[in-house]
Amino acid sequence: MNEMKKAVISVLGADRKGIIASVTRILYEHDANILDISQTIVSGLFTMILIADISSELCDFEQLKKGLSDEGARLNVQIRVQRSEIFEAMHQV
């Protein structure tokens, strides 16, 4: 069985309707599955961190990253996508 591949996705920007719906739609379209999600709004600033399973053969990391980046530009929010291995490697040093 293949090891699960995960992505860490962060979203930051002015709060507005539809941010969560737009981000999760892009994940769905790329066959990524949300494993964990946390979001909050502080003084009108929206923040969200989510962990997604990107193990599917249909999920191309670079295409997912571009899709989320393009959606972030459309929504006027910053969306960063990183492979979870980066975080795991930092904690093994």
The predicted pLDDT at position 2 comes to 65
Per-position DSSP letters for 17-73, written without gaps between them: TTHHHHHHHHHHHTT-EEEEEEEEEETTEEEEEEEEE--STT--HHHHHHHHHHHHH
Residue type, 51: I
Low-confidence stretches of the chain (pLDDT beneath 70):
1-2, 86-93
Report the pLDDT value the prediction gives residue 1, as an integer from 0 to 100: 47
Determine the pLDDT at residue 79. Answer: 98
Q: What is the pLDDT of residues 34-50, one digit of tens each?
A: 999 999 999 999 999 99
To the question of pTM greater than 0.75 for the whole model, the response is yes
pLDDT at residue 93, rounded to an integer: 57
At residue 62, the pLDDT reads 97
